[in-house]
Amino acid sequence: MNADLHCHSCVSDGTLTPEALAQRARERGVELWALTDHDEIGGQHRARDAALALGLPYLTGTEISVSFCGQTVHIVGLGFDPDDEALKRGLAATRGGRRERALEMAESLAKAGIHGSFEGALKYVGNPDLISRTHFARYLVETGACADTSEVFRRFLTEGKPGFVPHRWAGLRDAVQWITEAGGMAVIAHPARYKFTANEEHALFSEFKSHGGRGVEVVTGSHSAAEAVRYAEAALEYGLAASRGSDFHSPDESHTDLGALPELPGSLTPVWEALQDRIQRPA
Ligand code: AMP
Ligand code: MN
Ligand code: MN
Ligand code: MN
């Protein structure tokens, strides 16, 4: 099954509309799709309506920013009720503070000689509640300060570099519970991206499970083939279902296009097996 259960629209830090993403997913052979904007579900009804009109089965999605052991961890939610009030309140609280953080990021960049980045980043923002590092990265490419967004993240905006501002996101338990209590499944996003020690990673997986988390991304645009093997083993070890998603943000920036992913290893239980009754299907 060509499932792609992780990507971003202009409702967070992607560049395409939910409708254009649905079209692109359909054209690229995706058979089950979820839009997973950061800390935001404002695009869910648009994504679902566009997908179903194209004959593409759909799961609701989001990607929640969580603070854990001094790092930012992303928790994907799939198959929840997009009208759940507690989930909406939790996401709004998680988004809160992004504007203040962005102003501090701009101040820090100005000290490094990069001026006007708050206004510059805002030009790329589709949702005023969701100004993110990605929008700053696009502005730094525009000014010629960096050649591409990966250079921006190497030289700026990450721990220890100009423009980095530590931020307190949602708690792990809260994020997992918002998703689960809204009828969805919580999934650890791109686990190979975190710089945890073995003990910290074990704490993440076991606490996630004890709060009711049920899945982990194994095949993602953020993992190498070796990392996919490593987290396939972790899925079996912790008894988690496996997810698959490109993390597509933009035709100009993303290495992995919608649907262009290797298969999940056959030994794993795919998240969509457990989410059968949450999938919205074309009439
Ligand atoms: P924020 O939620 O504002 O901290 O921004 C995080 C976003 O920055 C991620 O969702 C990615 O889209 C982007 N990002 C983080 N690290 C990198 C990187 N090394 N290269 C490209 N994009 C990145
Ligand atoms: Mn992003
Ligand atoms: Mn992420
Ligand atoms: Mn993502």
206-247 pLDDT, tens per residue? 999 999 999 999 999 999 999 999 999 999 999 999 999 999
**Percentage above 90 pLDDT, the chain:** 100
DSSP state of 156: S
Ligand 1: which of 8, 118, 134 to mutate, judged by most atoms within 8 Å of the beta carbon? 134
| Ligand 1 atom nearest 150 alpha carbon | 20
Alpha helix stretches (DSSP H) within 157-211: 172-181, 198-210
The atom of ligand 1 lying closest to the CA of 249 is 12
pLDDT band at 46 (very low <50, low <70, confident <90, very high): very high
Rounded to a whole number, what is the largest CA-CA distance in the chain? 56
- Nearest atom in ligand 1 to the alpha carbon of residue 101 is 3
Share the mean pLDDT of the chain. Answer: 98
**CA of 177: how far to CAs of 69, 173, 183, 186, 243, in Å?**
19, 6, 10, 8, 19
Residue list, ligand 1 pocket, CB within 6 Å: 13, 38, 65, 132-134, 149-150, 153, 249
Tokens of 109: 């960049």
Mean pLDDT in residue range 101-112: 98
**Ligand 1 mutation pick, 153, 159, 255, max ligand atoms within 8 A of CB:** 153
Closest residue by CA, ligand 1 atom 3:
132
Q: Which ligand sits nearest to residue 13's alpha carbon? A: 2
- Would the CA dihedral through 142, 123, 175, 105 be positive or negative? positive
Ligand at minimal distance from the CA of 134 is: 1
Atom from ligand 1 closest to the CA of residue 72: 4
Q: What whole-number distance in Å separates Cα of residue 195 and Cα of residue 244? A: 21
The separation between the first and the last C-alpha atoms of the chain, rounded to the nearest angstrom, is 20
pLDDT of 63 reads 99
* CA nearest ligand 1 atom 19, residue: 153
Question: Cα–chain-centroid distance for residue 206?
Answer: 21
- Length of the chain counted residue by residue: 283
pLDDT at 180: 98
Give the global pTM.
Answer: 0.98
Q: Tell me how far apart the alpha carbons of residues 249 and 244 are, in angstroms, rounded to a whole number.
A: 15
State mean pLDDT over 34-56. Answer: 98
User: Please, which pLDDT band fits residue 45 given cuts at 50, 70 and 90?
Assistant: very high
Q: What ligand has the least distance to the C-alpha of 105?
A: 1
Long-range contacts of 14-17 (CB under 8 A, 24+ apart): 14/248, 14/249, 14/250, 15/249, 15/250, 15/251, 15/252, 15/253, 16/250, 16/251, 17/46
For residue 222, the CA-to-ligand 3 centroid distance in Å is 9
Q: Which ligand 1 atom is nearest residue 131's CA?
A: 3
Which ligand has the nearest atom to the CA of 133? Answer: 1
pLDDT by residue (tens digit) across 79-90?
A: 999 999 999 999
Average pLDDT over residues 181-209: 98
Nearest CA-CA partner of 62 in 146, 186, 164, 220:
186
